[in-house]
């Protein structure tokens, strides 16, 4: 294996095979779903040769590799035996937004490569027609057009497979639902005189041509659709799960899909499909109205912040909107505004490549520039521009200008084609090269040139930010919480008090002390010191609020065996002795000394990462708060 050592090191530092729920990859990143992110050695991974950086976003632990991610993925998969990943349950609480981003990326990531490839074929086919290389009646055109249309026309079948994998259902059930939605005979039934019309006179007036067991079926065109199949597969996964519990194992193989499909397919055609289609049309209309309100402002905002969206994985929120617009409107103006962003990034990198005298930086710029030309900007972002702040900001400014030009010119994305220069044919209109197409070309050239000029004349210091940790973490501030105790480390879930174990008081960790001393874990103020001495609250100089609660129910001791060494309100330093207590005497009284250390305002921070050590000494790193 070409990347065997790197693969082994990655598996080891994400917490081992047993800590991985699933693994996928996109153009440049390995995307892990971990059971416990605190077990991952993020800083070690960031400093490892062959890894650009590590990002935690959308409920995923993303290891950015670069253009050769597929080869690394294959080796990691081979060594780890992850297959296509079966996501087990995790105790980690994930926000609704992160769940949405994770779902969207999980459904669309596996097919993005083929989606771009077929889009490129369709785009170049249109380009060759425009330049009269061959006619639209030739066999060459017909075959290439069929290939280019294949995935998008049968999108529900492909999405049925990936959505089923994401929702932990049988992939072939998802495909069967999708295939039914695009079944040719069904699409030809909505002709002639309808039996009657539902919701007549309203915006959702729907003629009914057929019924199922007497129930009206509203026939829709599901070819190229996105929302109906994803929702149908989600509901189908729930139905399949129920039947798996009810049906005996001896007949489960064929009875489960039989029962599931008999329920979900009619339910989809009668209820889910029409509602989802109406929702899709509404989504398309809303996004178009926002764009119509101010195309220039939309271009500036989306084009300027697109690279930021990519960093945090937020771009996944726009991709399904674009695909839905393509299906409903047959064009998308939203994603089109991002076309100049990658070229802006690439122009900045070229300026740095020309001006820098740093040999190492030049070696980073060359592959980053080449990747950027083809629309893959992660090597440029993480390796070159983001660590140096100013270049990244300048690239965002140039991208915003490109977005504004696209807004002014009314450029629209016609197909989901390739990235970078391969994306040019995606903007050819139905009548050939129109103003929108030329707008895309102008935006591309202006973004590239402006990024280059701004960077060339703005200047930067060679060799700045050489420490890779400082480079990558410029967007994320961290504070380390040192251990106030010596002893055995335990998960907060092991504490015999639900207020602590269920995280109601905040994220944190617990220690079973082996020595009766509490020292300060941070520089800050002792804001609370209970008169009984059993608990104290500290606010760090950065505003982190820490609660240290010595033992369970020890308040009943009314201060006996606790000896305070400081007073409430005092400013304290890391490692300063705060309290002494008699371990043996407290245990003899029948009390547990398991001590939670909790960040009570953890909801205001990005994350709290606990140590993976089993035992700990005073002043060793206990937790890291990501601010």
- Which distant-in-sequence residues (6+ apart) come within 8 Å of 165 by Cβ? 84, 106, 110, 171, 174
What is the dihedral sign for C-alpha 157, 160, 163, 164? Answer: negative
What lies within 8 Å, CB to CB, of 14 at 6+ separation is 20, 32, 34, 39, 40, 45, 61, 63
Report the length, in residues, of the chain: 627
Three-state SS sequence of 557-615? HCCCCEEECCCCCCEECCCCEEEEECHHHHHHCCCCCCEEEEECCHHHCCEEEECCCCE
What positions carry a catalytic annotation? 26, 549
Report the C-alpha gap between 303 and 342 in whole angstroms.
10
CB 192: neighbour CB atoms within 10 A?
7
d(CA 592, CA 169): 45
Tokens of 227: 């929302």
Handedness of CA 385, 388, 391, 394 (dihedral sign): positive
Tokens for 427, please give them: 């903007």
Are 431 and 473 in contact by the 8 Å Cβ rule? The answer is: no
Report the sign of the C-alpha dihedral through residues 373, 377, 383, 389, in that order. positive
What is the Cα–Cα distance from 464 to 51, expressed in whole angstroms?
20
Residue matched to tokens 């998008």: 152
Check if the beta carbon of residue 599 is closer than 8 Å to that of residue 623. yes
């Amino acid at each position: 294996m070409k990347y065997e050592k790197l693969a082994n090191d990655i598996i080891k530092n994400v917490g081992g095979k047993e800590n991985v729920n699933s693994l996928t990859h996109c153009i440049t990143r390995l995307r892990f779903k971990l059971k416990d992110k605190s077990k991952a050695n993020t800083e070690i991974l960031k400093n490892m040769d062959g890894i650009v950086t590590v990002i935690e976003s959308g409920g995923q632990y993303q290891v950015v590799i670069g253009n050769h991610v597929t080869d690394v993925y294959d080796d990691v998969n081979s060594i780890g035996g992850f297959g296509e990943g079966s996501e087990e349950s995790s105790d980690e609480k994930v926000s609704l937004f992160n769940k949405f981003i994770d779902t969207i990326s999980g459904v669309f990531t596996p097919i993005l490569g083929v989606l771009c490839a077929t889009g490129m074929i369709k785009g170049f086919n249109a380009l060759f027609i425009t330049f009269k290389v061959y006619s639209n009646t030739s066999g060459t055109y017909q075959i290439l057009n069929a290939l280019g249309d294949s995935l998008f026309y049968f999108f529900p079948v492909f999405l049925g497979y990936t959505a089923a994998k994401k929702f932990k259902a049988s992939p072939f059930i998802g495909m069967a639902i999708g295939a039914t939605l695009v079944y040719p005979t069904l699409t030809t039934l909505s002709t002639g005189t309808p039996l009657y019309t539902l919701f007549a006179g309203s915006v959702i007036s729907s003629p009914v041509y057929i019924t199922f067991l007497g129930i009206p079926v509203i026939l829709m065109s599901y070819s190229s659709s996105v929302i109906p199949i994803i929702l149908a597969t989600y509901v189908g996964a729930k139905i399949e799960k129920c039947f798996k519990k009810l049906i005996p194992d001896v007949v489960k193989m064929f009875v489960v899909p039989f029962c599931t499909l008999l329920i979900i397919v009619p339910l989809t055609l009668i209820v889910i499909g029409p509602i989802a289609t109406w929702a899709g049309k509404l989504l398309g209309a809303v996004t178009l109205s926002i764009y119509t309100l101010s195309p220039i402002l939309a271009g500036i905002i989306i084009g300027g912040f697109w690279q930021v969206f990519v960093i945090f994985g937020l771009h996944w929120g726009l991709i399904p909107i674009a695909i839905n617009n393509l299906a409903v409107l047959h064009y998308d103006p939203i994603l089109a505004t991002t076309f100049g962003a990658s070229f802006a990034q690439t122009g900045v990198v070229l300026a740095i490549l020309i001006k820098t005298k740093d040999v190492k930086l030049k070696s980073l710029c060359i592959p980053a520039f080449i990747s950027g030309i083809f629309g893959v900007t992660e090597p440029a972002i993480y390796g070159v521009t983001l660590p140096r702040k100013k270049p990244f900001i300048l690239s965002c400014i140039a991208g915003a200008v490109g977005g504004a030009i696209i807004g002014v010119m009314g450029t629209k994305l016609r197909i989901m084609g390739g990235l970078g220069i391969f994306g040019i044919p995606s903007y050819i209109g139905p009548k050939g090269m129109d103003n929108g197409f030329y707008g895309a070309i102008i935006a591309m050239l202006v973004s590239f040139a402006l990024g280059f000029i701004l960077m060339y004349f703005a200047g930067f210091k060679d060799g700045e930010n050489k420490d890779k940790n400082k480079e990558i973490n410029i967007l994320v501030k961290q504070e380390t919480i040192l251990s106030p105790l010596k002893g055995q480390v335990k998960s907060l879930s092991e504490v015999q008090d639900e207020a602590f174990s269920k995280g109601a008081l905040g994220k944190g960790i617990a220690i079973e002390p082996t020595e009766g001393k509490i020292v300060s874990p941070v520089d800050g103020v002792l804001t609370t010191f209970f008169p009984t001495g059993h608990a104290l609250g500290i606010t760090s100089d950065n505003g982190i609020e820490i609660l240290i609660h010595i033992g369970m129910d020890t308040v009943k001791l009314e201060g006996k065996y606790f000896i305070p060494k400081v007073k409430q309100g005092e400013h304290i330093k890391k490692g300063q002795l705060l309290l002494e207590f008699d371990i043996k005497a407290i245990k003899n009284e029948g009390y547990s000394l398991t001590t939670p250390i909790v960040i009570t305002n953890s909801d205001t921070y990005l994350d709290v990462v606990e140590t993976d050590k089993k035992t700990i000494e005073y002043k060793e790193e206990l937790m890291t708060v990501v601010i």
